Structure 1
Amino acid sequence: MILGISLAMTAGILLFGARIVNYRLGHSLGIAGGSFANHWIGTVISALILIVLQIPFIASSEPVAWYAWLGGPIGAAFVMISNLTMGSVSVMISTTLIFIGQVGMGILLDYTITNHSIAPKQLLGAALIFAGILWNQRANRKPEKSS
């Protein structure tokens, strides 16, 4: 369990770092060009790691569900949307909003795919995080100057 928690936290740190790097790349190459470069470089690096570590490219001969191939386009959309939002809101707010989206989708997928019930405390937790963001945005809003 500790390994799983550590890996999940590491993934979160890497995601944050990737968003900053992708924003800089998107700023230089454009939103679509940055996303393309990100995924192209990721594909090359992944292939090199598989080759060096001698990991089979295809681990199973089972058929793959059609929707499993949507990960690439969804990832590209995430990078482009993330690049668009990085300049308009703070990194902390953007990251927290992404987290809220992940929590909401996690609750929905648990309910629809795994048939777990939605606990009111899960919804309350997500609502409190969202309310905190709104509160923070309001508190950080600069007062309007009166003439």
Structure 2
Amino acid sequence: MLGAVFIALIGGAAVGMSRSINGRLTMDRGAFTASAWNHWIGFLLLTVYVLLFHRVGLPLLSDVPFFFFVGGVIGACFVVISSYVFPRIGAARSGLLIIGGQMITGLLIDLARGTAQFHPGQLAGVALILTGIYLTRYTR
């Protein structure tokens, strides 16, 4: 478990660094151009990885339901949005707002799917997230 926690922390650091780099590229070329380059380079890297290490080639996706690809659309929107906001409001505020949005949305998804039981602590957690967002935005 400790290994997974460490890997997750590295992943979080990678997200922060990539958003910062894409934010700089956004200031030079625009959010959509920065996102396009981000996805093209990622596509090429992952294609090489799959071809080298999985030795099965790229799997056919004809039997995958169409709506499974919505995650890619949402991911592309996330990259564009975060590339746009990072240079404008800073890394700390952007990170807090993004994580706050993820936590609130995750809670709503769990509740809608019935995978989490409601308890008052969840409301307190959402209130703390919103309070933190307010404090970083409106206090100096």
Change (3 A) 1:23 1:118: same
Normalising by the residue count of structure 1, what TM-score does the alignment of the two structures yield?
0.82
Any unmatched runs of 5+ in structure 2? none
State the match for 2:43 in structure 1.
43
Change (3 A) 1:35 1:50: same
State the match for 1:27 in structure 2.
27
Q: Distance in 1 between matches of 2:7 and 2:114?
A: 23
Change (3 A) 1:84 1:107: same
Q: Determine whether 1:13 maps to 2:25.
A: no
Normalising by the residue count of structure 2, what TM-score does the alignment of the two structures yield?
0.86
State the match for 1:73 in structure 2.
73
State the match for 1:93 in structure 2.
93
Q: Distance in 2 between matches of 1:81 and 1:61?
A: 28
Which amino acid in 2 is paired with 1:68?
A: F
User: Which structure ranks higher in relative contact order (CA pairs < 8 Å, sequence separation ≥ 6)?
Assistant: 2
Quote the offset at 1:37 in angstroms.
0.8
State the match for 1:124 in structure 2.
124
Quote the offset at 1:62 in angstroms.
9.1
SS of 1:124's equivalent? helix
Q: Which moved more, 1:16-25 or 1:35-44?
A: 16-25
Using the aligned pairs only, state the percent identity: 29
| TM-superposition CA deviations, 1:87-143 (whole Å, max 9, x none) | 321210110010011101111121222532233212211211221231233322xxx
State the match for 1:144 in structure 2.
none
Q: Distance in 2 between matches of 1:55 and 1:17?
A: 31
Q: Distance in 1 between matches of 2:9 and 2:118?
A: 24
Q: Distance in 2 between matches of 1:34 and 1:62?
A: 30
Quote the offset at 1:8 in angstroms.
2.1
Any unmatched runs of 5+ in structure 1? 141-147
Indicate the structure with greater helix content. 2
State the match for 2:102 in structure 1.
102
RMSD over aligned CA atoms reads 2.1
Larger radius of gyration: 1
SS of 2:89's equivalent? coil
